[in-house]
């Protein structure tokens, strides 16, 4: 059976080499999958169905294209299969352009490697058809990939300006009221409101810059001091109670360690606000702190519909937000949880942490998204 | 004004009659004070950002308007039903659940004489595209005099 996009049910019209190539599809895909995981760092954690994506269809289109007299001359003729692949890679993986192109180069290698190993001798025209199909596939995939990323950036910019204009509007309105007021007490209250919102904007800009710097390849500059996690949590939860009401419960043990306090606080704020945003309204949110093996293990748990497994990776990627969140009109920049992930340490991932996120370089923090629990694992000892 | 901020403008502007317009020193809004006010006395402010809703309400009150505040579109609809004397709606656009645009559409249908002014921090040109009715619109952050001018348009 062929999976080609023109849905030919009887591949007997295919040339002999095309039929042999069709029979070797699984072997080629296995070789490709193995090599992609080995050579592409960004592909290592991509789940099998997502990794394989539309490649079997693309492969069968190539098979048709090498058959003389068969109407198809390229794998992308009359098909969006390569565009779909590029768009999908942009939407639900951490791939960049280079990874996407390399994936196709490995696909080219896998085809020729398996065919050669199995004694399939290709003539010049068949070799040319395979190469031109893959080249056209790369072009269409990269175009779609860029288009999707461009859309992400536009939405991100729109959400960013919207969210910054919130506190900016409060600040300006408070200042206008101060200008109008003659009551010192009210003037002071509005000044406090303006100040708090200016600080909020500053925090948002800091978070943005840190995340952008990380995604630009820079390492986060951390200022490590001895920190009691309880004190930071007290501050975060005091603000959270003001904003979201008294629905937070703290459990676990007191833990002290060496962390960058402002960065740790922003991480906690992000976890808590995401727990509120994506949980059921009014339900309890539990923040648990544990210490084990000289690590702080912090988990934030809410209640509500679980994030589908295939969306769990998206929520930790820059600009990306879960489809379920978009459907529910949840607002956000899509940088909060990527910020939590930022600062990846050069430490091996734990096999039981899926998806595992390693946090700032001086630490060994891991964020685990399992069901509705986000757990943060950070070392309690001084890393230096 | 309903909500957590109950501000006495009489203290700020002694001698002004209730519902009258206090002076707005150092503000372009003084032009607005000269505009005809007969058709606009009570405004419903809607914004899910509570601070901003309260501040907008305080500013509108400072310019002599009666103001009700709602923090969601649903609350706004309830207040409209309970207060038949509301002359204008001033609403944020992007809100969870029912959006400001949906609210504006519903209000225009149910209360066709009500003035509707929308405000948003989004600048996407498509935001107000393909609407059955055109709405007066201001970008955030706004000066209150600009909102007053729209409300009096």
Is there a single domain that holds both residue A141 and residue A258? Answer: no
- Cβ neighbourhood burial of A238 (10 Å; 0-12, 13-18, 19+): exposed
Please state the separation of Cα A160 from the chain's center in Å.
18
Q: Is the pLDDT of residue A138 over 90?
A: yes
Which strands form A248-252's sheet, in the order they lie side by side?
A248-252, A285-292, A295-301, A373-379, A366-370, A356-358
Both A229 and A374 in a single domain?
yes
**Minimal-distance CA residue of chain A relative to B61:** A177
- Angle formed at CA A139 by CA A134 and CA A144, multiple of 5 degrees: 120
Residue A270: exposure state from Cβ atoms within 10 A (0-12, 13-18, ≥19)? buried
Same domain, A91 and A127: yes
Q: What percent of chain A has pLDDT over 70?
A: 74
If DSSP codes are grouped into helix, strand and coil, which group holds residue A70? coil
Determine the Cα–Cα distance for residues B62 and B43; give it in Å rounded to an integer.
13
pLDDT band with cut points at 50, 70 and 90 for residue A141: very high
Residue contact A162–B121, C-beta within 8 A = yes
User: Are residue A228 and residue A319 in the same domain, yes or no?
Assistant: yes
What percentage of chain B's residues is helix, strand, coil (to nearest 5)? 35, 15, 45
Q: For residue A146, what are its two tokens?
A: 């860029």
The total number of structural domains that make up chain A: 3
Listed by start position, the domains of chain B span 29-152
Confidence bin at A349 (pLDDT 50/70/90) = very low
Instruction: Pick the residue from chain B with its C-alpha nearest to A169.
Output: B141
Angle at A207 between CA A216 and CA A306, to 5 degrees: 95
Q: Give the range of the structural domain holding residue A240, as residue numbers without chain letter.
A: 224-379
Report the alpha-carbon distance of residue A313 to residue A332 in Å, rounded.
17
In CATH, the architecture of B29-152 is 3-Layer(aba) Sandwich (3.40)
* Torsion angles phi and psi, residue A137, rounded to 5: -65, -40
ipTM of the complex: 0.71
The DSSP code for B40 is -
Q: Say how far apart CA B21 and CA B25 lie, in whole Å.
A: 12
Most confidently predicted of A44-48, A270-274, B108-112:
B108-112
Best residue in A173, A196, A281 for a mutation probing chain B (most B CBs within 10 Å) = A173
Q: What is the pLDDT of residues A228-270, one digit of tens each?
A: 889 999 998 988 887 778 889 988 888 888 777 877 787 788 7
In a domain, A5, yes or no: no
- pLDDT score at A151: 80
Mean pLDDT confidence for A54-71: 88
| Joined tokens for residue A17 | 């080499």
Mutate to test the interface with A, among B121, B123, B142, B148 (most CBs of A within 10 A): B121
Residue B97 pLDDT level (bands cut at 50, 70, 90):
confident
A260 & A273 share domain: yes
Measure in Å the smallest separation between the Cα of B77 and chain A Cα atoms: 20
Same domain, A230 and A254: yes
Q: What is the CATH number of the domain that holds A107?
A: 1.10.490
Gap between the Cα atoms of A313 and A305, Å rounded: 17
- The residue of chain B with its CA nearest to that of A160 is B122
Q: What is the pLDDT of residue A59?
A: 94
pLDDT of residue B77: 97
Q: So what's the pLDDT on residue A371?
A: 26
Q: Residues A349-366: what's their mean pLDDT?
A: 29
CB B141 within 8 A of CB B147: no
Pairs across A and B, CB distance < 8 A: 81
**A210/A238 same-domain check:** no
Tokens of A263: 């960065």
Better-scored residue on pLDDT, B27 or A64: A64
The 3-state secondary structure of B90-131 reads: EEECCCCCCCHHHHHHHHHHHCCCCEEEEEECCCCHHHHCCC
Residue in the block written with tokens 């946090």: A359
Q: Assess contact for A49 and A103: CB atoms under 8 A.
A: no
Q: What are the backbone dihedrals phi and psi of residue B17, each rounded to the nearest 5 degrees, phi first?
A: -70, 150
Cβ neighbors of B34 (< 8 A, separation 6 or more) are none
Same domain (yes/no): A329, A344: yes
pLDDT interval class at B28 (50, 70, 90): very low
- Can you give the pLDDT at residue A327? 46
**Chain A residue set in contact with B, beta carbons under 8 Å:** 158, 161-166, 168-174, 176-177, 179-183, 186, 190, 193, 197, 328-331
pLDDT the model gives residue B61: 95
Give me the count of residues in chain B: 153
Higher per-residue pLDDT: A82 or A71? A82
What is the rounded distance in angstroms from the CA atom of residue A256 to the CA atom of residue A33?
44
Is residue A2 situated within a structural domain?
Answer: no
Stretch A324-330: mean pLDDT, rounded?
Answer: 47
pTM of the model: 0.56
Q: What is the mean pLDDT of residues B29-35?
A: 43
Report which listed range, A7-16, A77-86, A171-180, A283-292, is most confident. Answer: A171-180
Q: Which tokens is A193 given?
A: 């409101």
Please say if the pLDDT value at position A32 is more than 50: yes
The H-assigned helical ranges of A285-372 are 309-312, 323-327, 336-341
* Mean pLDDT estimate for chain A: 76
For residue A265, how many other CB atoms are within 10 A of its CB? 19
DSSP helix/strand/coil, A68: coil
Q: Cβ neighbours of residue A108 under 8 Å, at least 6 residues apart?
A: A130, A131, A134
Lowest-pLDDT range of A5-14, A123-132, A212-221, A285-294: A212-221
Average pLDDT of span A69-88: 85
What pLDDT is recorded for position A338?
52
pLDDT exceeds cutoff 50 at B7: no
Residue A203 in any domain: the answer is yes
The CATH code of the domain that includes A299 is 3.30.565.10
Per the model's pLDDT, the better-predicted residue between B38 and A112 turns out to be A112
Q: Is the residue at A325 inside a domain? A: yes
User: Model confidence at A81, in pLDDT bands (50, 70, 90)?
Assistant: confident
B42-46 and A256-260 as β-strands: parallel, antiparallel, unpaired?
unpaired
**CA–CA separation, A162 vs B140, rounded Å?**
8
Do A29 and A140 fall within a single domain? yes
Q: Are residues A247 and A351 in the same domain?
A: yes
Question: Do A248 and A352 belong together in one domain?
Answer: yes
Q: What percent of chain A has pLDDT over 90?
A: 30
Minimum-distance CB partner of B55 among A162, A164, A174: A174
Is the predicted pLDDT of residue B2 greater than 80, yes or no? no
Q: How far apart, in whole angstroms, are the C-alpha atoms of residue A114 and residue A23?
A: 11
Is A112 found in the same domain as A133? yes
The model's pLDDT over B36-79, given as tens digits with 9 standing for 90+, comes to 445 789 999 999 888 899 999 999 999 999 999 999 999 999 99
- Least confident range from A324-328, A349-353, B148-152: namely A349-353
**Average pLDDT, stretch A299-322?**
61
Cβ contacts of A168 on chain B, cutoff 8 Å: 140-141
């Amino acid at each position: 059976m062929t999976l080609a996009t023109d849905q030919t049910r009887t591949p007997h019209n295919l040339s002999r080499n095309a039929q042999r190539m069709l029979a070797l599809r699984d072997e080629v895909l296995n070789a490709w999958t193995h090599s992609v995981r080995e050579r592409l760092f960004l592909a290592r954690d991509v789940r099998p169905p997502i990794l394989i994506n539309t490649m079997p269809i693309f492969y069968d289109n190539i098979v048709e294209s090498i058959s003389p007299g068969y109407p198809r001359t390229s794998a992308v003729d009359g098909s969006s299969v390569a565009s779909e692949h590029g768009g999908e890679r942009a939407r639900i993986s951490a791939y960049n352009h280079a990874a996407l192109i390399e994936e196709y180069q490995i696909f080219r290698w896998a085809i020729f490697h398996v065919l050669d190993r199995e004694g399939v001798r290709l003539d010049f025209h068949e070799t040319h058809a395979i190469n031109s199909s893959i080249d056209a596939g790369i072009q269409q995939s990269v175009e779609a990939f860029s288009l999707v990323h461009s859309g992400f950036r536009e939405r991100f910019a729109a959400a960013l300006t919207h969210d910054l204009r919130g506190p900016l509007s409060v600040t300006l309105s408070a200042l206008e009221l101060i200008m109008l007021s003659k009551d010192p007490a009210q003037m002071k209250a509005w000044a406090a409101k303006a100040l708090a919102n200016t600080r909020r904007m500053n925090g948002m800009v800091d978070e943005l810059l840190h995340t952008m710097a990380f995604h630009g390849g820079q390492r986060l500059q951390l200022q490590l001091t001895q920190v009691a996690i309880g004190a930071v949590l007290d501050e975060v939860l005091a603000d959270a109670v003001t904003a979201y009401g008294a629905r937070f419960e703290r459990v676990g043990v007191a833990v002290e360690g060496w962390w960058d306090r402002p960065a740790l606080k922003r991480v906690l704020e992000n976890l808590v606000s995401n727990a509120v945003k994506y949980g059921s309204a009014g339900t309890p949110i539990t923040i648990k702190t544990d210490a084990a093996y000289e690590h702080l293990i912090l988990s934030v748990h809410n209640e509500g519909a679980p994030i589908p497994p295939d969306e769990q990776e998206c929520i930790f990627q820059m600009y990306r937000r879960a489809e379920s969140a978009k459907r529910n009109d949840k607002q956000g920049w899509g940088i909060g949880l990527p910020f939590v992930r930022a600062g990846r340490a050069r430490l091996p991932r734990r096999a039981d942490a899926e998806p595992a996120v390693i946090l700032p370089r001086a630490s060994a923090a891991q964020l685990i998204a399992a069901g509705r629990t986000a757990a943060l694992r950070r070392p309690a000892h001084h890393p230096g | 004004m309903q909500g957590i901020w109950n501000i006495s403008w009489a203290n700020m502007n002694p001698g002004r009659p209730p519902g009258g317009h206090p002076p707005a020193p150092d503000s372009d809004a003084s032009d607005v004070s000269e505009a005809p006010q007969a058709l606009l006395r009570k405004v419903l402010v809607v914004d899910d950002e509570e601070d901003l809703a309260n501040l907008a309400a305080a500013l509108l009150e400072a310019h002599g308007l009666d103001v009700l505040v709602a923090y969601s579109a649903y609350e706004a609809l309830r207040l409209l039903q309970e207060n038949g004397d509301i002359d204008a709606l001033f609403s944020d656009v992007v809100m969870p659940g029912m959006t400001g645009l949906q609210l504006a559409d519903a209000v225009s249908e149910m209360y066709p004489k009500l003035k509707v002014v929308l405000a948003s921090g989004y600048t996407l040109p498509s935001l107000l595209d393909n609407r059955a009715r055109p709405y007066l619109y201001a970008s955030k952050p706004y000066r209150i005099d600009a909102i007053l001018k729209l409300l009096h348009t």
